[in-house]
Structure 1
């Protein structure tokens, strides 16, 4: 799962937003789905772990954590795809004099009128291409760092706040190391005029490589990485706190 969205907006159509609040254009759509997205993401990860365990308390290998993370990426696609399609479309019109959409709801209505549910979910395969391997790396890295950072003779539940934050932040970095290139392709596809890329992400890839070269696949890498660490550190910190709270209420729960 991609905790924070990347860049990938076509350079020929994107213009700098107007003023400070212009930096947040298009964020209403992903914010609306962020709570259920996180819930579904960690649900998918939990399901992925249980599917690979013969007994509830079996320890998993890092490959199995990676597999469970990939399943989490599949789970979140149903929310991620339309949310990011709407966000990207609103962002590229941020500085345009002739705006096509008057906010997320209007965007959904017009996309549905234009091509039905398929238009709203354009880029689903591209989102899967990004989120499945990136989410696998995300959760595997977090579990690995939790193990590495836990002092010998101690339980990972005793890990300090600073170490938990570091593990979560680095998981976000590794997530985007895998996900940045597919994210660029996804965003190009989701903001392109209908019919521009008849073969989907394959056409986008060929066009980007031909016109801009391989380096274009990593546009926006620096700001994405700067954002990824604190955002994902906070995410996993919140997850650990929530799990400890639930275990206090339901001590018999796994």
Structure 2
């Protein structure tokens, strides 16, 4: 085989390896995020989906969960996100890397290979599109598993079986539009904030790609804060659509209208406290897991 023939093969193999690394490191980061953030997420979901007056606030949710189920009650519903988190975060980080390459390919006459903040945000938004195909059913199962005081299901497979029996794949994927409405802008803010913050914290003469634990932890936390500063209203609507009985809402806008009519505009910000409390530690853990695993993969593969 000539050098000209082997070059494309070598390039394709390198691209496949890079895709694999992005996929695996994203999944590992997601596991870290769930282990750290699930109690906060459970609190947020219950505040968003419970009838008005059920809880006085986030602390009340925690107190009642601990009184009823003990510490394990704060991890109810963790199996669906743990089972789904690897593909969700793996696809998200793979799609983000792919989207950055797509932007570079679409702008060949560039002065610099470094993406602007707007381009990073665009890549983040694009990453949410394929990720929604995995996120929506996992979120649907998670919301069903977390909601209410009664243990309705025996586990994640029981949840999925019930949802499929209720309305097939359409039931399992209920809330997909709301999920994308949350994760599109949220991912744009998420990845852009991480890259910009990490670059700002990188010492002069060093590269942001080098492993700097302090910068990673802080930038990851700020990425989570940036995302959830935008994502709470669509997240509230997503949680309500996915937890309500069939036929309650005809769609995203119908849910918004009925939520505001019943509980006021402030209802769109339910769960803001737990979400923001979760945002920094969970996403610090996410990016630390992503960067550390990527460092090891680059070293040994």
1:60-139 paired onto structure 2 within 5 Å = 60-93=115-148, 95-96=149-150, 99-139=151-191
Count of aligned pairs: 246
| Alpha-carbon spacing, 1:244–1:90, altered in 2? closer, same or farther (3 Å) | closer
| Alpha-carbon spacing, 1:100–1:157, altered in 2? closer, same or farther (3 Å) | closer
Instruction: Return 5+ residue gaps in structure 2 as ranges.
Output: 1-25, 56-63
Q: 2:50 — aligned with what?
A: 11
Cα deviation for residue 226 of structure 1 reads 1.2
CA distance in 2, matches of 1:9, 1:219: 5
Residue-by-residue CA offset, 1:4-52 (whole Å, 9 max, x unaligned): 6553632218674322212222111111111122111110001100001
Asked if 2 retains the 8 angstrom alpha-carbon contact of 1:45 and 1:69, the reply is yes
Residue-by-residue CA offset, 1:151-181 (whole Å, 9 max, x unaligned): 2222213463112100001100111111111
Q: 1:24 — aligned with what?
A: 75
1:81-230 paired onto structure 2 within 5 Å = 81-93=136-148, 95-96=149-150, 99-158=151-210, 160-198=212-250, 200-230=251-281
1:240-251 paired onto structure 2 within 5 Å = 240-250=291-301
Q: TM-score, normalised by structure 1?
A: 0.89
CA distance in 1, matches of 2:300, 2:152: 49
Structure 1 stretch displaced more, 234-243 or 120-129: 234-243
Residue-by-residue CA offset, 1:163-204 (whole Å, 9 max, x unaligned): 210000110011111111110010001011111112x11111
CA distance in 2, matches of 1:243, 1:106: 35
* 2:209 counterpart SS class: helix
Q: 1:237 — aligned with what?
A: 288
* 1:193 counterpart SS class: coil
Q: Which has the larger radius of gyration?
A: 2
Residue-by-residue CA offset, 1:75-108 (whole Å, 9 max, x unaligned): 2212211111111112223x23xx5432211111
Q: 2:15 — aligned with what?
A: none
CA distance in 1, matches of 2:147, 2:295: 41
Structure 1 stretch displaced more, 121-130 or 232-241: 232-241
Q: 2:114 — aligned with what?
A: 59
* 2:295 counterpart SS class: helix
Asked if 1 retains the 8 angstrom alpha-carbon contact of 2:48 and 2:271, the reply is no
Instruction: Return 5+ residue gaps in structure 1 as ranges.
Output: none
Asked if 2 retains the 8 angstrom alpha-carbon contact of 1:72 and 1:135, the reply is yes
| Alpha-carbon spacing, 1:159–1:192, altered in 2? closer, same or farther (3 Å) | same
CA distance in 2, matches of 1:156, 1:37: 25
CA distance in 1, matches of 2:91, 2:266: 33
Residue-by-residue CA offset, 1:47-88 (whole Å, 9 max, x unaligned): 100001136982111111111111221122122111111111
CA distance in 2, matches of 1:191, 1:242: 35
